[in-house]
Amino acid sequence: MTSANALQIISTLLVECDVFAYFWDVYKILIPATIFFNLAYFLLLVVVVFNVNNLLRQHHGHNPSHFKYIYGFVLVVVGGVTAGLIGVQCWNYSIYFADDYSRNFIYAQLRIRLAFEVLYMLAVITASVMATATIVSMRSRGASNRVCSPSYLPSSCIH
């Protein structure tokens, strides 16, 4: 998201310093900013859904493969919607450059954006439920009451 924000700051600076001849030249920076922003949003979901839950499961000591399939399915679906959203948004921005408003997909972009936001929210809720279930399971086993040190130290767990 920082690269997208940096591109927006740069474009604002270029407009204010009269480097761009027209205001429409700012939209040429919107395509890479859209790509970076949406990819960063998706990668944040990958970190939350896959990595955090995977680390919790490994710490728990029980990491069934069906959870990885659930994470993978969720990430593939949201990744596909993200790719579609990036494509439609970039298409609409390129149509603005060509001044050909008859071939835009504004309503499709709004529908895909809505689907993306709903799926993103469901993925975060699913990941938080799975993480909560893992933490509750760890507490019921008593795993959170001990501090475990790396295996190369003499005592692996201190109570």
Residue 114 resides in a domain: yes
Residue-number span of the structural domain to which 97 is assigned = 38-140
The 10s digit of each residue's pLDDT in 36-55 is 889 988 998 888 877 777 77
Q: How far apart are the C-alpha atoms of 89 and 112, rounded to whole Å?
A: 10
Residue 101 is assigned to a structural domain of this protein: yes
**What contacts 85, CB < 8 A, 6 or more positions away?**
38, 109, 112, 113, 116
More confident residue, 27 or 52: 52
Asked if residue 48 belongs to a domain, the reply is yes
Measured in degrees and rounded to the nearest 5, phi and psi for residue 122 equal: -65, -35
DSSP letters of 46-73?
Answer: HIIIIIIHHHHHHHHT---HHHHHHHHH
Residue 68 maps to a domain: yes
pTM of the predicted protein model: 0.71
* C-beta of residue 56 within 8 angstroms of C-beta of residue 62: no
pLDDT at 159 > cutoff 60: no
47 or 3, higher pLDDT: 47
> Is position 60 within any domain?
yes
132 domain-assigned? yes
How many domains would you assign to the chain?
Answer: 1
Residue 20 placed within a domain? no
Tens digit of pLDDT for each residue in 99-140? 666 777 888 999 999 999 999 999 999 888 888 887 887 777
Percentage of residues in the chain with pLDDT exceeding 90?
20
